[in-house]
Amino acid sequence: MQGEKLGVHCIRWASLRALGEIGVQTFDAQALLFEARKVKTQDEINCLKMIAAITDRAWCKLYEAMKPGMRDIDLTAIGYQAMIETGAEIGGVVPFFSGPSTF
């Protein structure tokens, strides 16, 4: 890294300061990263298509199941079940909220 600049984005102030203390010059790489994200490989495009199909199936199942009086946690279970059955790998559970919980 001697004599080179390190592009950073969303870095904590303490880390940025520590890099400066050891002589590493940094610059804000946000614009550069946004530009790089515009380019998609065929694999990335196929992954995005797969994600869209999984999400569409979940929304379809939710639409079919929704009726007055349903709890949002029950809809969460239906949505996640539809995604898992389609091959999604679900991380932490983020429920679908309705009513005053939506804020």
Adjacent-strand bridge partners of 27: 7
pTM over 0.85: no
CA 38 from chain center: how many Å?
Answer: 16
List pLDDT tens digits, range 1-48: 677 899 998 889 899 999 999 989 999 999 999 998 888 999 999 999
Examine the domain organization and report whether 16 and 54 are in the same domain: no
Q: Which domain holds residue 48?
A: 42-96
Examine the domain organization and report whether 19 and 50 are in the same domain: no
Q: What is the total count of domains within the chain?
A: 2
**Mean pLDDT score across all residues of the chain:** 88
Interatomic CA distance for residues 33 and 88, integer angstroms:
27
Examine the domain organization and report whether 48 and 90 are in the same domain: yes
Check residue 100 and give its pLDDT.
73
CA 15 from chain center: how many Å?
Answer: 24
Examine the domain organization and report whether 68 and 26 are in the same domain: no
Examine the domain organization and report whether 25 and 50 are in the same domain: no
- Nearest Cα neighbor of 64 from 29, 28, 56 is 56
Examine the domain organization and report whether 15 and 50 are in the same domain: no
Examine the domain organization and report whether 46 and 84 are in the same domain: yes
